[in-house]
Amino acid sequence: MAVYVDAAIWKWAGKLWCHMLADEVEELHGFAHKLAIKRSSYQGPPKTSAPHYDITGLERDRAVRLGAVECSREEIVAVFRRVRVKNGKVPQG
């Protein structure tokens, strides 16, 4: 089992952000807890199809120091496809 992070390249609210995913949802939550990331920051079904957290570049650096696997864009997309919940995203309307 592993936790994965992509590059912090997404700009929002004056910070650079990235995605943090894991092979198992409980592993993802446990790792977020180690990083002191609030559970309310979790994004998953029904709003998104893949369980993940958006984290800042600083949080990403700490995650890597704690053992998260750094991924390219292609690698994180492969993880996303592997962990996504089929029919998990509910259309907003």
61 part of a folded domain: no
Closest CA to 52 of 19, 11, 4: 19
84 part of a folded domain: no
Domain count, the chain: 1
30 part of a folded domain: yes
What is the β-pairing status of strands 52-56 and 15-22?
antiparallel
80 part of a folded domain: no
**Angstrom distance (rounded) from CA 27 to CA 41:** 15
1 part of a folded domain: no
87 part of a folded domain: no
Q: Which residues of the chain have pLDDT under 50?
A: 93
23 part of a folded domain: yes
pTM greater than the 0.85 cutoff:
yes
Residue 13 CB contacts under 8 Å (≥ 6 apart), including other chains: none
Amino acid identity, position 43 = Q
Provide the pLDDT for residue 45: 85
Provide the pLDDT for residue 85: 84
75 part of a folded domain: no
Domain that holds residue 31: 13-55
DSSP for 44-84, please give it.
-TTT-SS-EEEEEHHHHHHHHHTTPEE--HHHHHHHHHHHP
Provide the pLDDT for residue 1: 76
